[in-house]
Amino acid sequence: MRKEIKFSSYRKVPILLANAGSPLQLNDSSVIISAIKTYLISRRNSLEEIVSFYPPVKTMTEQGKEVFEYENKYWLMLDEKETKRVYPVKEVRVEEMKWRKWADDWLVHLISPNVYRTPKEALASFDYIVREGKFGILEGLFAKYVGAVAMFFVSKRLKKRHRLRDDVREDLYEAVNEWVKAVGKNRLFMGGNQPNLADLAVYGVLRVMEGLEAFDDMMVHTNVQPWYQRMEQVIEKTGVAI
């Protein structure tokens, strides 16, 4: 809820608060992933120093809204030796960055139009949000019904903004199958035998729909299920909750 991030001038989620000597706030999911991955690989710099490598840049949207972007957010800040260990050939790094950007620039924008596609689906989505969230009884009822109606109409605006088809499921199926084709038949993951940051980005976006009609339809009408199940198994083995 908004009141949970009232301490921050950055008004989106996720926000990561790290205890790194002094409180440190990291914004933007891709920046968070790149900074933490850099920190885990290279212990030469403190987390504060690594975060400073991802400065926000003020830009304007097509609608004239002022926003902050992180232009190098898909880069890991590694030295030459570390880079060769993580990315044996340049193409591996280029591919990972390309698909992380694709997940942010395209795939994520297919979620809301699909999970709020109809009034029934919008209500089911907010029923899940309220059930899993920290809502009181009255707050929950208000969020469920008012939120569902609001997001149903918002999803129609998003559909128009991103030039989606009349049946937005088709855009979702096409995008997901494009991802599966990029992974290919000879790799378990885009990262090879283990997921890389592109696998993580795509999984994180699709995971949002789990338990909803859009997710079930995607599993039936695309070829993503084997890859998705392999991702689930890796996540389960590492004991990480996403």
Confidence check: pLDDT of 123 > 80: yes
* pLDDT per residue as tens digits for the range 191-229: 999 999 999 999 999 999 999 999 999 999 999 999 999
- Please give the C-alpha separations between residue 28 and each of 15, 56, 119, 138, in angstroms, as whole numbers: 7, 10, 30, 31
Confidence check: pLDDT of 172 > 90: yes
* pLDDT per residue as tens digits for the range 145-155: 899 999 999 99
Confidence check: pLDDT of 235 > 70: yes
Cis peptide, bond prior to residue 88, ω within 30 of zero: no
* pLDDT per residue as tens digits for the range 79-106: 999 999 999 999 999 999 999 999 999 9
Confidence check: pLDDT of 16 > 70: yes
pLDDT for residue 64: 80
Residue among 170, 240, 167 nearest 203 (CA): 240
- Please give the C-alpha separations between residue 179 and each of 189, 208, 227, 228, in angstroms, as whole numbers: 11, 17, 10, 11
pLDDT band at 175 (very low <50, low <70, confident <90, very high): very high
pLDDT band at 71 (very low <50, low <70, confident <90, very high): confident
- Give the tokens for residue 49: 């120093």
